[in-house]
Structure 1
Amino acid sequence: MKIRIKGNSIRYRLTKSEVETLAETGYYREETEFPHRTFAYAIKADNGTQELDVDFSADTITMYFNRDKSAAWPKNDVVGFSPEIKTSNGITLCLLLEKDFVCMDNTAEDQSDNYPNPKLAK
């Protein structure tokens, strides 16, 4: 799972196996180890979430994803979800959860578990 944060925008990209793990177990998490702390980001299927929601606590960003949508996601062609939510102080936070496609340019990154890029289809 990849994370990108810019200002008030958070984006998660998940590979095929990560999308399947989320659908099967309801949870997926990654960690980055720092010398004295660990930063984590996770996604959790949740019955009470309409589409996406997010929380930050204990050095972890947790994105909550509707359980029914997470269960159906590996089997459908939906690329992603992108709601905007209002924080308690009225700021708009943009969330994006999407399937990770194979890059169009050459990259040294292993992309064997990524979804086929529709722009590369002939």
Structure 2
Amino acid sequence: MKIRIRGNSIRYRLDKADIDALKEHGKVEEETHIGATSLHFCVRTGDKYKVKLEGSGVHMSILAEKAKEWIDTDLVGIQFEQQNPDNSVLKILIEKDFKCLTEREEDDSNAFENPLSKHEC
């Protein structure tokens, strides 16, 4: 799972193994250790869209029926917004992680084939 946070938006990118875990177990988790503590991220299926911060964890729930459609089709992503208590809006995007079009040191062998890789410039 890759996570990008920018302003009031969070973008999750799930590779094939992440999506398999979501399909089989109804959730996928990732943890990043920083010193003696860690950040925990969880995406799970449920009955509504929701993101909440609990301690050092960011937990997201997406509609089970929409997750199934996303997993079982070529649909690239799911997007939703959540209003915060201060009336600001948190934007969420969860999408399939595609292989990079340029060489990188990052291992993306478990990523989805990039649809743009078939196009010639």
Partner of 2:90 in structure 1? Answer: 93
Percentage of matched positions with identical amino acids: 34
Determine helix, strand or coil for the equivalent of 1:41.
strand
**Equivalent residues, number:** 119
Q: Aligned partner of 1:102: which letter?
A: K
Q: Which structure 2 residues correspond to residues 97-112 of structure 1 after superposition, within 5 A?
A: 97-112=94-109
Partner of 1:20 in structure 2? Answer: 20
Q: Which structure 2 residues correspond to residues 4-43 of structure 1 after superposition, within 5 A?
A: 4-43=4-43
CA contact (8 A) 2:50 2:82 kept: yes
Match of 1:57 among 37, 47, 54: 54
Taking the aligned partners of 2:16 and 2:59, their CA distance within structure 1 comes to 20
Taking the aligned partners of 1:63 and 1:113, their CA distance within structure 2 comes to 22
Taking the aligned partners of 2:20 and 2:36, their CA distance within structure 1 comes to 32
Gaps of 5+ in 1: none
TM-score normalised by structure 1 residue count: 0.91
Cα RMSD for the two superposed structures: 1.2
For residues 43-64 of structure 1, give each alpha carbon's deviation from its aligned partner in whole angstroms, at most 9, with x where no partner exists. Answer: 0111x21xx3211012100111
Gaps of 5+ in 2: none
Q: Aligned partner of 1:70: which letter?
A: A
For residues 73-107 of structure 1, give each alpha carbon's deviation from its aligned partner in whole angstroms, at most 9, with x where no partner exists. Answer: 32201100112221111001110000000011111
Q: CA deviation at 1:71?
A: 2.7
